Structure formats: structure tokens, C-alpha cells
Amino acid sequence: MGVDWQSQNPLNSLAIRTLTCCASSAAYEHFVCASDVHRTTKCSATSSYVKLQWETWCLYVRVVGGRAEYLCYTDGSCKASDGAPGGWGFCIKRPNELPLEGYGKARGTLAKAMEYRAVAEALAVLPEGVIATVFSDNASLVENLSKHLSTWRESNFAKVDPHIVESVRRIDACIATMHLTLRFQWVRAHNGNAGNQRADALAAQGAREAKAEITAGRR
């Protein structure tokens, strides 16, 4: 059974939960930078305050969590050109392992379709039964997947936007069949978050490749 982070978390005001059992420098960097702690708390974000929050969080994970979390940064892109070339990308920060990355391309698509596709592709490569936070700079995506997924499922996804419904079905299936414990979190785009920037770069690479294929096909 997954942990109810919202009700049990003593640091519920923070924007990101970096679950780790040891305060490594890399994880600490994620905690400070990715969470925008100085903007999401009412207290003064001095270095000592951040350090105290970090140490408290690590203690909480040791006592309550017991499992380390996967941080999944996702993004989508679509170029405004003939053929509507698009791309999706993800960068997954794994506990005690190197990041796992992936990207792909599509034609005749939309940015929002690629953003949902990125989430579906990221979840598909996670190990079964893990805890993960999925980050996206699309606030609508985060709200939909956080609040409306169960309602969509009950209606057999009949009211879901046709451009994203296939990816939404895949996301729901991954959560159920792989027994994932997920949280969806908005992250500000182009704001110095390394994970978000990497996902953005991978999505852009996919879109460039799709555009190149369209251009080559015209020759």
C-alpha cells in the first residue's frame, strides 16, 4: 500500500518531495532548486532554514517512507511549421543510479499531445511498484492527471480530448498494472530546473528530427 504523502507529510507546503534515505549532495540540490523552497514557504529561506527542512525531510523518509522516489521530468514540443512536427522527452532521476532518458517524434501533432505522450512513455519504463513524482510545466496536465483521472476512467475516457486520450489511457493503465504510487507536480518552465530543462531539450530534439524527416520527404 502506498504512503499518503499529503496527510502524513510534515513538510506538506514544499513543492517537491525528494525521497532519499541519505542527504547526498545531488539529492539536496534537487530539494533546494527544484522545489523553489524560497517561494513555496512563508518562512525566510536562509541556507540554514533550507538545511533544517532537508534534514527533517530525510528523517521523515527514514521513518515513514522507507522507499526512495523516482523523479520523472517530462515535456513535449511542437513546431509551428508544415506537417506540425512534434517531440516528447523525459528525464528520470533514479535513486542511486544514473538518470534514464528517452525521447521520440511525431508528425501532425500538438504540443499538448506530446506532453501527455511524454508522461505515458516515462511511466512505461518505471520499475513495478515504485513511488514517483511526475513533473510537467503544463499546469493543465498536472491538474487533469491529479484530479480527473479517476472520473475519466469511470466514463471510459469518453470525455477526454481526442488529441490526448490515447496517452491518458496508457497513463491510467501503467498506474494500475504496474502498481505505481504517483504524484503529479507542476514545475516552472525555463527557470533553471535541470530536470525540466533536460526534458525540454529532449522533446525539442524529437521535434527537430520530425521536421527534418518532413523536409527530406519533400525533396
- pLDDT tens-digit series, residues 34-76: 444 333 333 444 555 555 555 555 544 443 345 689 999 999 9
CATH architecture of 69-217: 2-Layer Sandwich (3.30)
End-to-end CA separation in angstroms for the chain: 56
Q: Is 156 helix (H, G, I), strand (E, B) or coil?
A: coil
Q: Which pLDDT score, from 0 to 100, does residue 68 have?
A: 84
Q: Please, are residues 94 and 100 in contact by the beta-carbon 8 Å criterion?
A: yes
Q: Is the dihedral of CA 179, 20, 15, 135 positive or negative?
A: negative
Is residue 90 a contact partner of residue 118, using CB atoms and an 8 Å limit?
yes
Give the domain ranges of the chain: 15-65, 69-217
Residue 130 neighbours by CB under 8 Å, 6+ apart: 67, 69, 70, 180, 181
* Dihedral of the alpha carbons of 66, 97, 187, 121, in degrees to the nearest 10: -100
pLDDT one-digit tens code per residue, 116-166: 999 999 999 999 999 999 999 999 999 999 999 999 999 999 999 999 999
Q: How far is Cα 3 from Cα 155, in angstroms, rounded to an integer?
A: 27
What is the 8-class DSSP label of residue 16?
Answer: -
